[in-house]
Amino acid sequence: MIQSMLEIFAIALAVSFATNFLRRKILTPEDMAKMMESQKFKRMLLEAQKKGDTKTIRRLKRRQEYYQKIDAEIGKKNIILFAVSIGLFYLVFIGILTPIYGGLEAVALLPGGMIIPFISMGDKLTSLGWYILSLLAVGLPLGKLFEVKPKVERLAEFKEG
């Protein structure tokens, strides 16, 4: 039972590594800087609207189309990443885990009769459940490790302009 759990954990680690690596390749530091710039623009526009500052609103509205294009461009990349991540998740589950471990076969017993919806069947942890828990456990730290940082000089340009 422990060996199955370790094998599934290693597979989840590989899947998480692959998706985080793809994220780093698809979303560049420039994209992150543009995204932060767009968020700052939206905050400034919202603040001006709350204050009723028509002069600032007019000035910001002239740049709105540019930020909408940025949002669309980065949104498209995020959708691609989401689709690839979901596809990889199911590919591994259907193509590797199900043939080897069975779709919902138990790999462990949960302590004290614990039941986790969608993760366990009664007090039995399924291979799918362990795969999901493993992805979460390794995905969060790997996400921080592979985090794409924005380029700071791009933000400085926005503050001046």
Dump pLDDT digits (tens) for 15-32: 999 999 998 889 888 988
Are 127 and 4 within 8 A, CB to CB?
yes
pLDDT at 67 over 80: yes
- pLDDT at position 101, please? 82
Domain-by-domain residue ranges, the chain? 2-102+136-160
Span 83-136, pLDDT tens digits: 999 999 999 989 998 898 876 778 888 888 788 887 888 888 888 888 999 999
State if pTM tops 0.85: no
> Torsion-angle region of residue 120: left (phi > 0), alpha (psi -120 to 50) or beta?
beta
Beta strands in the chain (DSSP E): 106-109, 120-121, 124-126
The pLDDT of 138-149, averaged and rounded, is 82
How many Å apart are CA 74 and CA 26, to the nearest integer?
10
